[in-house]
Structure 1
Amino acid sequence: MPATTVRPLTPDDARAYRALRLAGIAELPATFCTTHAAESGLPLAQIAQRLRTTPHQIIFGVFDGEQLIAIAGLRREPIAVVHDKASLWGVYVAPQARGRGAGRQLVQAAIAHACTIPELGRVRLAVAQDNLAALTLYLSCGFTLEDSPATDGMLQMQLMLPRPARASASASAESNVFMKINTLQIPAK
């Protein structure tokens, strides 16, 4: 794929984002959690607001020159009991850009961003079980299928985020506990 760029979308990208999202909904209605009528009825200002990066959401786009050719969002809940999970959502690659790496660029950008959020431990997504290209992409990026059966033709997948700092700190703490137990002097009775 020649000179593509990946970046977070901004409110200035609202028109291009809406057009590409509507194309995705028209092509693959079952994979989006909305309808074409509902999405096309949203005011452009509301779409622009959706594109504002917040601590809980970011939407990435892949551009071929000035043309937006792929989109994906990463969202996490602000609720404390689930703030360690994020969802990859709204992934769509324009037909003319498929098979040239745009989807991989999006998924990798979302994973890289998720890794910068210390409290996140996993990214989840839902994918149509008959979408072999998407399944192959997600599996090659490290996602695994969850044990739950497919519902409404959708499979659940997850990616456990690498946390080497946590793992080494945890191992170090465990090692210190083990050392303390090993060196504990128990007085004779």
Structure 2
Amino acid sequence: MKIRKLTAADAEAYWKLRLQALQNHPDAFSTSYEDAVKQEDPIGRMQNNLENPDTETYGIFIDDLLAGNATLRYETPAKLRHRADLVAVYLAPETRGRGLGKMLISRMIQAAREREGIEKINLVVAATNPTAKHVYEQAGFKQFGIEDFALKIENTYISEIHMTLILEEENELHL
């Protein structure tokens, strides 16, 4: 098992895993599978995203196959530059229950701490995913709000839980 930053060379593997995520967990992402497959040049878009200096995407590799990923999206406006958003977190079903999610989240926190000026990480998790919420809580994230009716899939509404991690507090917790 290896965790490393993804590059443009990983775009095709990342795209395949992203489509799997959108199919298996439509409640966890604002993009639908149907919208994703309609995109023009998705591999080119993924290459650009993976090379964007305002994002960092890390992947978990098992036997050289991408089995999970997460992205930090850094805010660029002056008043928001102290923040990062943790998005697009996914682990393939066959990898779950082995602590890999916890390792990936720890690596994402480390990456944010290594980025100059980042003081907090925000994320959103579907209320339908208590396992993911628990992993985030174990990493030190705290809930600060719930958005009811955040997503609508056919006639079903999904609430989203907003969470944050203040990196200074995270440092104090682990001294």
Same fold (TM over 0.5): yes
1:135 equivalent to 2:133? Answer yes
Query: What TM-score, normalized to structure 1?
Result: 0.80
| Larger relative strand fraction | 2
C-alpha distance 5-114 of structure 1, shift in aligned 2 (>3 A): same
Show the counterpart of 2:168. 162
Aligned partner of residue 30 in structure 2, secondary structure: coil
Please tell me the residue identity of whatever aligns with 1:51. L
Show the counterpart of 2:78. 80
Aligned partner of residue 13 in structure 1, secondary structure: helix
* 1:50 Cα deviation after fit: 1.1
* 1:42 Cα deviation after fit: 3.9
Show the counterpart of 2:112. 114
CA distance in 2, matches of 1:149, 1:101: 26
Please tell me the residue identity of whatever aligns with 1:72. A
> Share of identical aligned residues, percent?
29
* 1:66 Cα deviation after fit: 1.1
Aligned partner of residue 146 in structure 2, secondary structure: coil
Q: What is the aligned length?
A: 161
CA RMSD of aligned residues (A): 1.9
Aligned partner of residue 119 in structure 1, secondary structure: coil
CA distance in 2, matches of 1:68, 1:13: 9
Show the counterpart of 1:102. 100
> Which has the larger Rg?
1
**Where do 5+ consecutive residues of structure 1 fail to align?**
168-189
2:72–2:84: 8 Å Cα contact kept in structure 1?
yes
The aligned runs of 1:1-189 (5 Å cut-off) are 4-40=1-37, 41-43=39-41, 44-54=43-53, 56-146=54-144, 148-151=145-148, 152=150, 153-162=159-168
2:5–2:58: 8 Å Cα contact kept in structure 1?
yes
Deviates most, 113-122 or 71-80: 113-122
* Displacement over 4 Å in runs of 4+: none
Deviates most, 57-66 or 116-125: 116-125
CA distance in 2, matches of 1:48, 1:39: 15
2:27–2:128: 8 Å Cα contact kept in structure 1?
no
Aligned partner of residue 22 in structure 1, secondary structure: helix
Please tell me the residue identity of whatever aligns with 1:159. L
CA distance in 1, matches of 2:23, 2:44: 22
CA distance in 1, matches of 2:45, 2:85: 21
